Amino acid sequence: MNIKGLTLARISEMVGGTLKGDGERIITSITSPEAPCPGSISPLWEKKLVHDVDPEAVLLTKEGWIREGGEGVEVKDPRRALVTLLEYFDNERRAELPGTHETAVISKSAVIGRDVTIGPGCVVSDHCRIGDGCTLVGNVWLGKHVSIGDNTVIEPGVVIYDRSSLGRSCLVHANAVIGCEGFGFMPDAEKGLLRIPQIGTVVIEDGVEIGVCSSIDRGTFGETKISRGTKIDSHVKVAHNCEVGEYCIIVAQTGLAGSSTLGDRVTMAAQSGVGNHAKVGDGVVAAGRSGITNDIPSGMVVSGFPAIDHKEALRQMVALRQLPDLVKNVKRIEKMLDGLKPEKE
Q: Work out whether strand 177-180 and strand 159-160 pair parallel, antiparallel, or are unpaired.
A: parallel
User: 318 CB contacts (<8 Å, ≥6 apart)?
Assistant: none
Q: What are the φ and ψ backbone dihedral angles of 178, each rounded to 5 degrees?
A: -120, 130
User: How far from 63 is each of 18, 31, 42, 60, CA to CA, in Å?
Assistant: 8, 20, 15, 10
SS3 10: helix
Write a three-state SS string for 193-235.
EEECCCCCEEEECCCCEECCCCEEECCCCCEEEECCCCEECCC
Interatomic CA distance for residues 114 and 131, integer angstroms = 7
- The four Cα atoms 48, 51, 54, 56 give a dihedral, to 10 degrees, of 110
Nearest of 167, 151, 146, 145 to residue 114 by alpha carbon:
151
User: 2 CB contacts (<8 Å, ≥6 apart)?
Assistant: 96
Catalytic residues: 240
